[in-house]
Structure 1
């Protein structure tokens, strides 16, 4: 696959995810390196949606440690019990936060972040391997289309773990 995304102009988010999924699959299906795959996924999501920040936090050393991302510099380590990422890890569920200031214990890596969605990525044994964190500089920017589309992308990663 060429290193260029084809994104339908003027399409809603659900349609963009639908167009993006096979392109991301083509990027990662023959690549065995996890870091390379996560980096390309973060770049594809940032390019397709112009999100403020897109990245992965990997479970390492008893905490979430910054992995491949696109956007401004970020928090490097997040305890399992802190912030939206920690809550997603602990609850093992997708969390959509319309207003990060209203989320108890939110970690403000950037004051420009206004809303957020975080999804856990699971090993085959059911433990959380990492979380996908997506931030927007717009309030209430994430919804069901994002949760569904990002979950399909997460499934591509989980197949490789």
Structure 2
């Protein structure tokens, strides 16, 4: 069992530095994406709520659904309220991030055309693509109840976490192999 200490960070920069170390620790010797993403979503959700004192209301993953003819994301491991189960590429913030293979930092979801409100309490969102050799295999999605709940520090930190996770996991089942 991995013992991950409670964050002692006093800033988001310190938090993300600790988070990267924690993520690296939980993936050692473990290639299963379900296991690693479940633990990562818990670390992110509880850690950010503690360090920022912002009402982060969802942190988790949507993964490529290899059974669909039209590129779609299906709900993966997460922390928070019940969520949307399927999102097509190009729809909402998650689908846009997946289609463009580009992080979406949305300071006010109500100004994002086509935003999908899985939780009406969400007011800001950040979605980071999980890129495996130029192919999007999923996204890391975080929601916050306040406008401007995320910033460029979050983007940089979450993009680093996404990279660690992509490299650490075996994605054959997501790739349909």
Q: Does 1:43 align with 2:42?
A: yes
Kept in 2, the 8 Å contact 1:5–1:44? The answer is: no
User: How much does 1:2 deviate?
Assistant: 3.5
With normalisation by structure 2, the TM-score equals: 0.86
Backbone CA RMSD of aligned residues: 1.2
Q: Does 1:29 align with 2:23?
A: no
Separation in 2 of the partners of 1:114 and 1:5? 30
Unaligned runs of 5+ residues in structure 1 are none
User: How much does 1:84 deviate?
Assistant: 0.2
Separation in 2 of the partners of 1:108 and 1:134? 13
User: How much does 1:3 deviate?
Assistant: 3.6
User: How much does 1:5 deviate?
Assistant: 3.0
Separation in 1 of the partners of 2:82 and 2:121? 12
User: How much does 1:81 deviate?
Assistant: 1.7
User: How much does 1:6 deviate?
Assistant: 2.9
1:17 aligned residue? 16
Q: Does 1:54 align with 2:47?
A: no
Unaligned runs of 5+ residues in structure 2 are 50-55, 172-177
Separation in 2 of the partners of 1:20 and 1:6? 10
Q: Does 1:4 align with 2:13?
A: no
Q: How many residues align?
A: 159
With normalisation by structure 1, the TM-score equals: 0.94
2:52 aligned residue? none
User: How much does 1:36 deviate?
Assistant: 0.3
